[in-house]
């Protein structure tokens, strides 16, 4: 009781009178009855910043849906398209209209009135206080007047006076931009990004900058995100892996221009050691829209040099940790250079390339002096990249391995399972973990790898980061093995196979999915698992809905490298107060094309669940916290009225 009184005494400094505590209870109680804000779920964006940013702007098609709700048949299709494009790209759209010779005064008068109506439409589920915070400060008072002043006798004249003043003072452009930003912000209340921001696409750093300016989000880490986190720590094996993938997908400029990482040491090693070698197996995948093909030969050599470095460092890592059970990935010592073959699984396979000038067959996992010098410099460059460190700290601050949010369980990959559907266990520093406990433990190791001071604990945590990239019990990998070596050097298709883990074979079984629900405290009837990681091959008839809709895998191929398999360009999931919708997106061309032609991303929407009664704030996690606050305030009121605590005023 004494502890309760101390807590209420502290609370009384914020609400020093009965009147103020009562007012707060009234405010919080009213919020509980508002419709819940819209949540948007996006996964596996893989550096495709153009499509990602456009989907943020159009709110997975929600902006266009709101325009249809507000204007119906009142506006033509062309006018609706113009309004949508203005909301997505206001500066560029206004410039295009000006260049067309349009009477801008009349255009602004019409378009500002339409923006006012849209602003009202998207703000109806929020408190006035929250809406006010979403309005850009320079136009807060003006926009509030236009949105909330409903008691003016001659409203048309009143609005016209405000609009004419905005246009006459030359502020119409800025006001339209402010309205557009507000509409975009309020259309989606919260963003869930379910992993894999990095690799393959040309602009992960642009995506990270965008996320850092987002009003409300959380991130569930993907394996590609954590390999970049490891590289930012200067872990040699993670650094080599990040550079290899960047070279493979013609994205070395992300490192050099995006993050200021000097790759000249690697380029010199490639020139000095690999200039005369065969590098036909190291062709790179590039998009001619972003890549300068004159760099192809140089980048291909660098690709080979860093690939051999990665395999050496990986071998050292495997030998340090026999408990990981990955000895089958020790392959450099299985090469017969005379016959140009390699022994895998008791069988000899011909090697397509054995021209490895830096590999000593007698000690294949040892780095040469030159390689060691290069790795030291590269690791220092990653550690010293201020922008990369800023992005990684944000990733850690907003991220986690999993999240339970409003009854849904979010994670990037899987829950490691045995073939019988039980949770797979992993031993970490002498202790065995499985299920939720394993993810909690791994989350701690991830943070320790970045934040812990140098020493044995940090080194072990750093090695765990790489295990999460490719280990059999990693919740971010979900396969039996990673066949990077075989895909690089062998022709036989059977050696390239990366069999999926038990989770993906069993995730249509209700008993397995409900066991995961129980492990994380989810409701059997209403909860769902939402994940990404495994591209859903829609072209081959695969569905993102598994186990009767209890599990959704929303990796639909944001990355252009996957779109030939998936047949689409990504899924997003929209959870509003009225239900749950799955949105399948077609490929995005460019922002310039969207502004010039009014072309939006074509999306097909599938209604997963329609709720007869709208979900309110009171039904959400935020609502649960508000109810706790209300109970505390009611206790404070009782303490005031009983005399246990005196009012401060």
Each residue's pLDDT tens digit, 444-473? 999 999 999 999 999 999 999 999 999 999
Same domain, 260 and 360: yes
In a shared domain, residues 173 and 289? no
The answer to whether residue 595 sits within a structural domain is no
pLDDT in tens, 70-101: 999 999 999 999 999 999 999 999 999 999 88
Selected residue with higher pLDDT from 292 and 107: 107
CA 375 from centre of chain: 29
Kindly write down the DSSP assignment for every residue of 100-119, as one continuous string. TT--HHHHHHHHHHHHHHHH
pLDDT in the model for residue 238: 98
Helix (H) or strand (E) holding 585: strand 579-585
- Whether residue 139 is found in the same domain as residue 259: no
Of the three residues 436, 470, 504, the one that is the final residue of a domain is 470
Q: What is the pLDDT, as a whole number, of residue 401?
A: 98
Angle, CA of 188, 191 and 193, to the nearest 5°: 150
* pTM (predicted TM-score): 0.94
Q: What is the pLDDT of residue 210?
A: 97
Sign of CA dihedral 265, 266, 268, 269: positive
| Residue 12 and residue 75 share a domain | no
Q: Is 410 helix (H, G, I), strand (E, B) or coil?
A: strand
Q: Encode pLDDT of 313-336 as tens digits.
A: 999 999 999 999 999 999 999 999
The verdict on residue 379 lying in a domain is yes
Q: Is residue 43 part of a domain?
A: no
Instruction: Supply 154's token pair.
Output: 């001659």
**Given a cut of 70, is residue 151 above it in pLDDT?**
no
* Residue 25, domain member (yes or no): yes
Residues 22 and 153 placed together within one structural domain of the fold: no
118 and 256 part of one domain: no
pLDDT digits over 136-146, tens only?
A: 888 888 888 88
Q: Quick one: which of 241, 409, 255 has its CA closest to 314?
A: 241
- Report pLDDT for 218: 97
- Whole-angstrom Cα distance, residue 131 to residue 571? 29
**612-630, pLDDT tens digit by residue?**
788 999 999 999 999 999 9
| Residue 322 shares a structural domain with residue 429 | yes
Pairing of strands 190-193, 217-220: parallel
CA torsion 466-470-471-477 (nearest 10°) is 120
Span 244-266, pLDDT tens digits: 999 999 999 999 999 999 999 99
Residue 1, pLDDT score: 56
Instruction: Indicate if 99 and 146 belong to the same structural domain.
Output: yes
Distance CA 272, CA 361 (A): 20
Question: Mapped to the 3 state alphabet, what secondary structure does 278-328 carry?
Answer: CCHHHCCCCCCCCCCHHHHHHHHHHHHHHHHHHHHHHHHHHHHCHHHCCHH
Task: Please state which of the ranges 126-135, 147-156, 200-209 shows the lowest mean pLDDT.
Answer: 147-156
Q: Which of 139, 161, 187 is the last residue of a domain?
A: 187
Total residues belonging to the chain: 649
Q: Cβ-count burial of 410 within 10 angstroms (0-12 exposed, 13-18 middle, 19+ buried)?
A: buried
Residue 500 vs residue 150, higher pLDDT = 500
17-49 pLDDT, tens digit each: 999 999 999 999 999 999 999 999 999 999 999
Q: What angle do CA 70, 71, 77 make, to 5 degrees?
A: 135
Please, are residues 576 and 548 in contact by the beta-carbon 8 Å criterion? no
Residue 585 lies in a domain: no
pLDDT tens sequence across 342-393: 999 899 999 999 999 999 999 999 999 999 999 999 999 999 999 999 999 9
pLDDT at 160 over 90: no
Which range marks the domain in which residue 634 is found? 2-31+626-642
pLDDT tens, residue by residue, 532-575: 988 887 777 788 899 999 999 998 777 777 676 666 677 889 99
Q: Give me the pLDDT at residue 590, please.
A: 78
Any domain includes 266 = yes
Q: Give the per-residue pLDDT at 601.
A: 64
Residue 484's H or E segment, with its range, is: helix 484-489
19/68 same-domain check: no
Residue 567, pLDDT score: 65
Distances (CA, A) of 499 to 290, 481, 482, 504: 33, 7, 9, 10
Residue 50: inside a domain: no
If residue 266 lies in a helix (H) or strand (E), which one and from where to where? helix 264-274
Burial class of 355 by CB neighbour count within 10 A (0 to 12, 13 to 18, 19+): middle
pLDDT at site 529: 97
Q: With 90 as the cut, is the pLDDT of residue 595 above it?
A: no
Give the integer Cα–Cα distance in Å for 453 and 256.
28
49 in Cβ contact with 202 (< 8 Å): yes
The DSSP code for 516 is H
pLDDT at site 602: 65
| SS3 state at 407 | coil
Asked if residue 197 belongs to a domain, the reply is no
Q: Are residues 300 and 375 located together in one domain of the fold?
A: yes
Q: Say whether both 277 and 171 belong to one domain.
A: no
Answer positive or negative: Cα dihedral of 251, 253, 258, 260: positive
Q: Indicate the SS3 state at residue 42.
A: strand
pLDDT over 70 at 530, yes or no? yes
3-state secondary structure at position 605: strand
Tally of domains within the chain: 3
Burial class (CB in 10 A: 0-12, 13-18, 19+), 457: middle
- Pick the last residue of a domain from 160, 187, 214: 187
Per DSSP, helices labelled H in 59-171 are: 62-71, 77-88, 90-99, 104-123, 128-134, 140-148, 155-168
Same structural domain for residues 353 and 272?
yes
Percent helix, strand and coil across the chain, each to the nearest 5 = 55, 10, 30
């Amino acid at each position: 009781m004494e502890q309760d009184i101390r807590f209420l005494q502290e609370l009384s400094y914020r609400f020093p009178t009965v009147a103020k505590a009562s007012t707060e209870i009234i405010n919080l109680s009213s919020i509980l009855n508002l419709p819940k804000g819209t949540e948007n779920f996006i996964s596996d964006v893989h550096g495709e910043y153009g499509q990602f940013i456009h989907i943020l702007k159009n709110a997975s098609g929600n902006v266009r849906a709101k325009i249809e709700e507000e204007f119906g048949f009142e506006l033509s299709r062309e006018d609706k398209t113009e309004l949508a494009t203005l909301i997505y790209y206001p500066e560029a759209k206004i410039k295009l209209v000006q260049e067309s010779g349009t009477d801008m005064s009349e255009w602004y008068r019409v378009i500002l009135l339409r923006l006012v109506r849209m602003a009202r439409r998207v703000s109806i589920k929020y408190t006035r206080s929250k809406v006010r915070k979403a309005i850009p400060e320079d136009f807060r008072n003006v926009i509030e007047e236009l949105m909330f002043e409903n008691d003016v006798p001659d409203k048309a004249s009143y609005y016209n006076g405000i609009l004419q003043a905005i246009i006459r003072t030359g502020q119409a452009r800025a006001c339209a931009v402010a309205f557009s930003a507000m509409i975009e912000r309020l259309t989606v209340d919260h963003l869930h990004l379910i992993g894999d921001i990095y690799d393959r696409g040309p602009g992960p750093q642009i995506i990270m900058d965008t996320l850092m300016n987002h009003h409300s989000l959380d991130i569930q880490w993907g394996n590609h995100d954590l390999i970049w986190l490891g590289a930012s720590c200067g872990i040699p094996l993670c650094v080599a892996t990040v550079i290899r993938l960047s070279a493979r997908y013609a994205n070395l400029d992300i490192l050099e221009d995006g993050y200021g990482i000097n790759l000249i040491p690697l380029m010199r090693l490639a020139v000095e050691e690999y200039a005369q070698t065969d590098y036909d197996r190291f062709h790179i995948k590039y998009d001619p829209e972003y890549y300068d093909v004159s760099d192809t030969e140089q980048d291909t050599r660098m690709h080979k040099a860093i690939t051999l470095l990665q395999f050496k460092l990986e071998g050292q890592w495997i030998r340090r940790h026999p408990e990981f059970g990955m000895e089958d990935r020790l392959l450099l010592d299985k090469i017969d250079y005379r016959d140009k073959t390699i022994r895998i699984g008791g069988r000899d396979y011909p090697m397509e390339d054995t021209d490895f000038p830096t590999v000593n067959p007698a000690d294949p996992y040892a780095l040469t002096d030159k390689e060691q010098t290069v790795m030291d410099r590269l690791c220092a460059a990653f550690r010293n990249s201020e922008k990369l460190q800023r992005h990684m700290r944000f990733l850690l601050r907003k991220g986690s391995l999993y999240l339970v949010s409003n009854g849904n369980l979010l994670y990037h990959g899987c829950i490691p399972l045995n073939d019988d559907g039980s949770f797979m266990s992993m031993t970490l520093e002498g202790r065995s973990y499985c299920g939720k406990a394993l993810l909690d433990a791994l989350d701690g190791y991830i943070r320790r790898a970045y934040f812990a001071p140098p020493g044995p604990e940090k080194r072990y945590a750093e090695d765990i980061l790489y295990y999460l990239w490719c280990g059999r019990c990693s919740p971010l990998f979900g396969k039996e093995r990673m066949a990077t070596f075989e895909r690089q050097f062998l022709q036989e298709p059977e050696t390239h196979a990366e069999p999926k883990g038990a989770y993906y074979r069993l995730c249509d079984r209700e008993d397995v999915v409900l066991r995961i629900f129980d492990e994380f405290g989810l409701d059997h009837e209403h909860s769902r698992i939402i994940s990404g990681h495994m591209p859903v091959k829609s072209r081959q008839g695969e569905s993102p809905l598994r186990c009767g809709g209890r599990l959704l895998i929303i990796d639909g191929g944001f990355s252009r490298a996957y779109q030939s398999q998936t047949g689409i360009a990504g899924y997003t999931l929209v959870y509003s107060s009225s239900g749950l919708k799955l949105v399948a997106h077609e490929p995005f061309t460019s922002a310039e094309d969207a502004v010039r032609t009014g072309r939006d991303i074509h999306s097909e929407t599938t209604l997963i669940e329609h709720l007869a009664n709208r979900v309110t704030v009171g039904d959400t996690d935020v609502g649960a916290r508000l109810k706790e606050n209300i109970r505390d305030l009611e206790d404070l009121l009782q303490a005031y009225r009983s005399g246990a605590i005196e009012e401060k005023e």
